[in-house]
């Protein structure tokens, strides 16, 4: 596999998804803005001191109470979580490289294996068998450069102060919080030491770290907020705790470094666009090491490598390592770790730390754990051996990424889509409650005012549908042949003869082993029957288009502003007929009183015309002629096996003859069936009309259901006239605009992320 090209392809595929993430963020931000406007009104209703809505609340006192009861807390929580997940996707898809993070306890070999991959030495990537050596997060980027350089990014003043105050809080609880970085150097070390709980080893260790910040504050504070580009010879001073050549030479600049971005060309040509992310080893006395490691894993990782150097004295798994895996699984999900967490056992073949004899048993135990979907793989690698690291660790991991990354990207997309589904439901719940408050503004006087409009609209709509089945188009076409189907079917009839094979093809059959003439004819006719059936099944497309056109005709009667006017309550385009009907049905399903209407719409929605229901069995019945299993006598084919040319000619003749019979029989059968689509479409329109005009349950009629529905939606269907009417009653226009805006975003498609249904 060309790994660099595959990595490049993965990066480009991610870039193509970025606009969809940004678009989704924009859509939910619009919904959030609407909710914020509503929150303002709810707050004013609760305080009973709204100038804008005083008249509204006075005329409709129930509205203020309904608004007080609307709680947006769950929506806001769902929104924050959705934005967080979308931001993670945005960060992930914006990367120009594939990020591989190294995690684990201190002194397990992380830095050594990174040296082997990058070709860098210990004075750039700190590594030691002694005390903790890595001082800060380092990122090593594979770039086509001739010299090694690093961009050193320092904490800003606020971030640095937060770190020091965290030490202060963990050591001294809530005492002595600092307000500025300048106060750090003035902290009295001796007095503070005397305040420590000496029975706490953890607090004593943290204090020793804090002392470094105090004693070196004067040299560190000037660096805050800066970026520095430094040559290879100076990198160690910013990322290490001491010199790799002389441990007595201490460094402290790392305390102020947020991240060091190191650029170099990796020796492995198959590396491609990758980035190695080093983390401080767990067990270092710096504060929040585990939290910082998990933050790196969550924000900066496409793959995670857990480094472990097993003890030479025993064949056991360290609980700390198992805890690290569990923490990462909790952070990234078990599905993620199954694809992209690799557990590396650092092999030491000789010397004091020799552990090679027990590694196979440890690996076996780890792979036993991985059966429960904990890690992607476990490998035994000699971190000192660059060839072993490259061939047996790096390249296999990069190969795995080519399949694992798209899977984990999809997992994260689905997680975001599921959260956006939750967000939509919370928005819908709020919109539903607001809708109930809106109904309070539509009092008896308002309904009387619009009674004439409602009656005219209902009559125009139903009369338009009535005209569809009485005259144009289905009334006139009802008893006529469907010309569209007839034309398409006639082409399928002609296609029957295209199934006759060339003589050379038949000879190929006859020359294949010991096949005889009847075997060849049978195999050919078996294939031909399926070809003919499949070809005629393609008429389903033609039939479905006829149904779509019929539904579209009805929808225009329902939706048009000069007829039913329902387009004002539906966000879906009328061109998407099934989606439009589904959204309308959801409106009617919101109340039991609309049940008769929703039943009519559901009947219309589920109707379709298919070949299987009235034509395909006719085709199948007329294929008996070319089915040896159903024929009383097979065709008489001349010639012996030595006269294959004669046999082939006879088979062609028989197929021509029999397919001519098939053609004539199907054509004759179809003559009486071409009017079926027009008849069926007419019947559906007539049935729909009857259901929306004459249906009833007990004393409750469908006409009354329409009246109720139009009354409940006066403010949307007759928006302008309703606004004028409300203005006369001194009701705020702002209220009506907000209600329409809330209704606008109460739409599943507004919350549909990357085609995942809400």
pLDDT tens track for 694-730: 999 999 999 999 999 998 888 888 888 877 776 666 5
What order do you get walking across the sheet with 227-231 strand by strand?
A: 227-231, 149-154, 257-264, 138-142, 274-278, 98-103, 303-308, 341-346, 377-381
439 falls in which pLDDT band (50, 70, 90)?
Answer: low
Can you name the residues that pair with 344 across neighbouring β-strands?
307, 379
135 falls in which pLDDT band (50, 70, 90)?
Answer: low
Most confident of 308-312, 477-481, 488-492: 488-492
What pLDDT was estimated at residue 130? 47
What six digits make up the tokens of 707? 């009246």
CA 154 to chain centroid: 35
Can you name the residues that pair with 154 across neighbouring β-strands?
257
Proportion of the chain above pLDDT 90, given as a percent: 31
DSSP letter, residue 512: S
Residue reference for tokens 């857990």? 306
- The count of other CB atoms within 10 Å of the CB of residue 452 is 9
pLDDT tens for each residue of 249-268: 888 888 999 988 999 999 88
Q: Which residues contact 656 (CB under 8 A, 6 or more apart)?
A: 497, 500
Distances (CA, A) of 133 to 207, 242, 244: 19, 7, 9
732 falls in which pLDDT band (50, 70, 90)?
Answer: low
Average pLDDT over residues 452-468: 94
Residues 717, 706 contacting (CB under 8 angstroms): no
CATH class of the 98-155+230-418 domain in this structure: alpha beta
CA-CA distance, 466 to 474, in Å (whole number)?
10
Can you name the residues that pair with 230 across neighbouring β-strands?
150
Can you name the residues that pair with 345 across neighbouring β-strands?
308, 380
Q: How far apart are the first and last CA of the chain?
A: 38
Does position 443 have pLDDT exceeding 70, yes or no? no
Segments making up each domain of the chain, as ranges: 98-155+230-418, 156-224, 483-684
Which range among 73-82, 516-525, 541-550 shows the weakest confidence by mean pLDDT?
516-525
CA-CA distance, 474 to 682, in Å (whole number)?
5
Does position 330 have pLDDT exceeding 50, yes or no? yes
Does position 228 have pLDDT exceeding 60, yes or no? yes
CA-CA distance, 130 to 243, in Å (whole number)?
12
What pLDDT was estimated at residue 59? 62
Residues 83, 75 contacting (CB under 8 angstroms): no
Proportion of the chain above pLDDT 70, given as a percent: 88
564 falls in which pLDDT band (50, 70, 90)?
Answer: very high
Distances (CA, A) of 437 to 440, 737, 748: 5, 14, 22
Does position 102 have pLDDT exceeding 90, yes or no? no
Does position 460 have pLDDT exceeding 50, yes or no? yes
Of residues 131 and 654, more confidently modeled: 654
Average pLDDT over residues 65-82: 87
Which range among 32-36, 177-181, 326-330 shows the weakest confidence by mean pLDDT?
326-330
Residues 654, 637 contacting (CB under 8 angstroms): yes
What pLDDT was estimated at residue 104? 83
Which of 618, 753, 639, 672 lies closest to 22, judged by CA?
Answer: 753
Residues 753, 416 contacting (CB under 8 angstroms): yes
What pLDDT was estimated at residue 700? 94
Which range among 373-387, 403-417, 544-558 shows the weakest confidence by mean pLDDT?
373-387
* The length of the chain, given as a count of residues: 758
Does position 192 have pLDDT exceeding 80, yes or no? yes
Average pLDDT over residues 145-166: 91
Residues 325, 306 contacting (CB under 8 angstroms): yes
pLDDT tens for each residue of 275-323: 898 876 665 555 666 777 777 777 778 888 888 888 777 667 778 788 8
What pLDDT was estimated at residue 280? 67
Residues 345, 378 contacting (CB under 8 angstroms): yes
What pLDDT was estimated at residue 539? 93
What pLDDT was estimated at residue 438? 67
Does position 396 have pLDDT exceeding 80, yes or no? yes
What pLDDT was estimated at residue 53? 61
Residues 654, 508 contacting (CB under 8 angstroms): no
Does position 442 have pLDDT exceeding 70, yes or no? no
What six digits make up the tokens of 289? 């090491």
**What is the average pLDDT score of the chain?**
84
Does position 149 have pLDDT exceeding 50, yes or no? yes
Average pLDDT over residues 441-467: 86
Can you name the residues that pair with 138 across neighbouring β-strands?
260, 278
pLDDT tens for each residue of 586-621: 888 878 889 999 999 999 999 999 888 777 888 888
Does position 690 have pLDDT exceeding 90, yes or no? yes
SS (H, E, C) 411-446: HHHHHHHHHHHHHHHHHHHHHHHHHHHHHHHCCHHH
Q: Is 283 left (phi over 0), alpha (psi -120 to 50) or beta?
A: left
CA-CA distance, 225 to 210, in Å (whole number)?
20
496 falls in which pLDDT band (50, 70, 90)?
Answer: very high
What six digits make up the tokens of 693? 């005009």
Q: Is 142 left (phi over 0), alpha (psi -120 to 50) or beta?
A: beta
Residues 38, 740 contacting (CB under 8 angstroms): no
Q: Is the peptide bond before 473 cis (omega within 30 degrees of 0)?
A: yes
pTM: 0.66
């Amino acid at each position: 596999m060309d790994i660099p090209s595959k990595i490049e392809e993965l990066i480009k595929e991610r870039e193509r998804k970025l606009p969809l993430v940004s678009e989704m963020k924009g859509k939910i931000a619009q919904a959030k803005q609407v909710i914020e406007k509503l929150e303002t009104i709810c707050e004013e209703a609760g305080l009973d001191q709204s100038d804008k809505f005083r008249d509204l609340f006075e005329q409709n006192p129930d509205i203020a109470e309904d608004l007080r009861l609307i709680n947006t807390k769950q929506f806001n929580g769902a929104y924050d979580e959705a934005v967080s997940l979308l931001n993670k996707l945005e960060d992930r898809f914006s990367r120009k490289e594939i990020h591989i993070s190294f995690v684990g306890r201190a002194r397990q070999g992380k830095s050594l294996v990174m040296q082997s991959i990058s070709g860098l030495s210990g004075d750039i990537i700190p590594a030691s068998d002694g005390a903790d050596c890595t001082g800060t997060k380092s990122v090593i980027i594979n770039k086509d450069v001739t010299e090694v350089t690093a961009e050193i990014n320092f904490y800003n003043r606020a971030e640095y102060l937060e770190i020091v105050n965290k030490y202060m809080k963990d050591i001294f609880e809530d005492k002595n919080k600092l307000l500025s970085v300048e106060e750090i150097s003035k902290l009295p070390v001796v007095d503070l030491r005397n305040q420590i709980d000496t029975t706490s080893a953890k607090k004593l260790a943290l204090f020793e770290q804090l002392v470094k910040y105090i004693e070196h504050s004067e040299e560190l504070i000037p660096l805050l907020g800066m970026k520095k580009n430094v040559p290879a010879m100076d990198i160690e001073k910013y990322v290490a705790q001491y010199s790799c050549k002389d441990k007595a030479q201490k460094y402290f600049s790392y305390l102020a470094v947020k991240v060091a971005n190191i650029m170099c060309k990796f020796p492995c040509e198959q590396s491609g666009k990758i980035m190695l992310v080093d983390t401080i080893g767990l067990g270092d006395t710096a504060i929040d090491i585990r939290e910082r490691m998990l933050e790196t894993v969550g924000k900066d990782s496409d793959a995670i490598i857990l480094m472990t150097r097993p003890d030479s004295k025993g064949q056991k798994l360290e609980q700390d390592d198992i805890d690290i895996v569990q923490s990462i699984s909790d952070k990234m999900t078990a599905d993620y770790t199954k694809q992209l967490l690799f557990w590396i056992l650092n092999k030491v073949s000789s010397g004091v730390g020799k552990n090679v004899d027990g590694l196979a048993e440890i690996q076996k135990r780890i792979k036993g754990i991985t059966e429960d979907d904990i890690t992607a793989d476990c490998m035994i690698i000699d971190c000192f051996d660059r060839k072993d690291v490259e061939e047996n660790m790096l390249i296999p991991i990069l190969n795995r990424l080519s399949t694992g990354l798209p899977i984990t990207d999809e997992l994260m997309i689905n997680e975001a889509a599921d959260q956006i589904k939750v967000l939509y439901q919370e928005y819908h719940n709020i919109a539903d409650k607001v809708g109930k408050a809106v109904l309070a503004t539509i009092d008896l006087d308002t309904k009387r005012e619009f009674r004439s409009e409602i009656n005219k609209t209902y009559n125009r709509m139903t009369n338009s549908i009535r005209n569809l089945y009485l005259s144009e188009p289905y009334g006139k076409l009802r008893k006529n042949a469907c010309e569209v189907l007839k034309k398409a079917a006639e082409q399928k009839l002609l296609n029957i003869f295209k199934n006759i094979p060339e003589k050379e093809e038949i000879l190929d059959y006859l020359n294949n082993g010991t096949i005889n003439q009847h075997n060849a004819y049978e195999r050919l006719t078996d294939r031909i029957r399926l070809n003919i059936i499949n070809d005629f099944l393609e008429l389903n497309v033609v039939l479905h288009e006829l149904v779509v056109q019929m539904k579209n005709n009805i929808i225009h009667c329902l939706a048009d502003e000069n007829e039913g006017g329902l387009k004002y309550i539906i966000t879906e385009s009328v061109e998407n007929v099934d989606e439009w009907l589904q959204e309308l049905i959801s409106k009617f399903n919101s109340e039991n009183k609309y049940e008769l209407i929703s039943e009519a719409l559901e009947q219309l929605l589920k109707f379709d015309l298919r070949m299987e229901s009235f034509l395909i069995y006719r085709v199948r019945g007329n294929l008996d002629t070319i089915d040896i299993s159903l024929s009383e006598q097979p065709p008489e084919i001349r010639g012996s096996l030595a006269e294959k040319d004669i046999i082939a000619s006879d088979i062609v003749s028989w197929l021509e003859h029999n397919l001519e019979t098939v053609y004539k029989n199907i054509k004759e059968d179809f003559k009486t069936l071409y009017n079926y689509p027009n008849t069926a479409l007419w019947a559906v329109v007539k049935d729909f009309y009857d259901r929306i005009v004459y249906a009833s349950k007990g004393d409750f009629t469908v006409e009354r259901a329409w009246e109720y529905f139009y009354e409940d939606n006066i403010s949307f269907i007759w928006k302008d006239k309703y606004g004028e009417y409300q203005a006369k009653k001194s009701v705020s226009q702002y209220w009506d605009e907000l209600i329409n805006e809330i209704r606008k975003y109460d739409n599943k498609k507004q919350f549909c992320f990357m085609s995942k249904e809400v």
